[in-house]
Amino acid sequence: MTNSEFIDVNLYKVIATNVTTTKLSGGNFYINNAGQQCSIKITTKIVYIDGNSVLVTEYSGCDDSPRQKTACSITTASSDCPDGDDGEVAVFNRATVRNIKKKLDLEYYTPEFDWISSNHAEADRLNNFIKDHTVNGVLDSLAKEFGLKALEAWMDGYSVISITPLVKYPVGSDYDSNYKKLTEYLKNQLPTLANNTAIVNAFKEYTNATTEQIEQILKWGDGPEIVIKQLESVSGHFSEPNTLEIDIDLINNLENSVSGSTYSESLLFFIAVTILHEAVHYGDFKYNNDYWTGNYPYTNEEGWRFENQVYGGAVIINEEGEITIVPLN
């Protein structure tokens, strides 16, 4: 099993997962959609791929006993079943399904609606994720996209390891719609820089991060948060503990440029360098517990030293998009 906290739910296929529920310490519990009092049924579900590459689902645990057949009475108790293993108990709530339906724009009596109505634990996780990413009644667009992907993956029989990924943009921002070129680059191009040996080696030297940690920093959804703001005299800035600030003028120039033009490509390159520069500060802060705060000459500042090692000097761009490399003394 992977240790990653964020899985591409369209690509990840379950090898083995335990989705057990556990009993309460005692007493009754509401668990069905009629709101009746019923006992808790403890079931372990294991899904795996056998030697013939066949997806197998097995159930074990508590069978229906005579006592369980009296479910929905006030006499039933959690002691009817043995303990499950490290799982969770889900409480079905009509409000949970209504909120998921509303926030994900689902329709009644569709396969999606029927599925969340019948799969209580997953619906509860999905609803908690939705609530965590809703601001003033509006679900963040990237969170909505991931929620729909997670629902699709569950319905297809895949395992969603986590429903709480970090988002690259601040929750509730409209960056993804206002800065489409930047978003496309961050999602699809920036992560590929983790394949560049020169970048990875320099990043390791100045941050003490591992290759896996560097990949996580550069991966859409897993790395630090990017905030676009007016920075006046600089193109980027690191704000602890996990925010990379990028100058809004630089981003607006990119969004207003002609895609594929020399000017646009130069801006993308410079933005990438800026993000890497600030990500070095982030990595230095997170993994070295240290980063430059003006307490020694800027030529010894880790971000500039990173640029000098990878590109041969500080990377500068002018208003026409011309790139200049200035070696550090």
**One-letter amino acid for residue 206 of the chain:** Y
The domain limits of the chain are: 20-80, 94-155, 175-326
pLDDT at 125: 84
Global model pTM greater than 0.85: no
| Contact of 313 with 273, CB cutoff 8 Å | no
What local confidence, expressed as pLDDT, does residue 214 receive? 81
| Residue 11, both tokens | 């690509």
- What is the predicted pLDDT for the residue at 268? 92
What's the pLDDT at 293?
55
* CA gap 291, 171 in Å, rounded: 26
Residue 226 has what pLDDT?
83
Q: What is the pLDDT of residue 290?
A: 64
DSSP 300: G
CA distance 270 to 315: 7
Structure-token pair, residue 271: 């933005």
Structure confidence by residue, pLDDT tens digits, 145-162: 778 877 887 787 655 544
pLDDT at 155: 82
All residue ranges of the chain with pLDDT < 70 are 1-93, 157-173, 219-223, 289-299
Strands (E), the chain: 16-18, 29-30, 37-38, 43-49, 55-61, 134-135, 138-139, 225-229, 236-239, 243-247, 314-317, 323-326
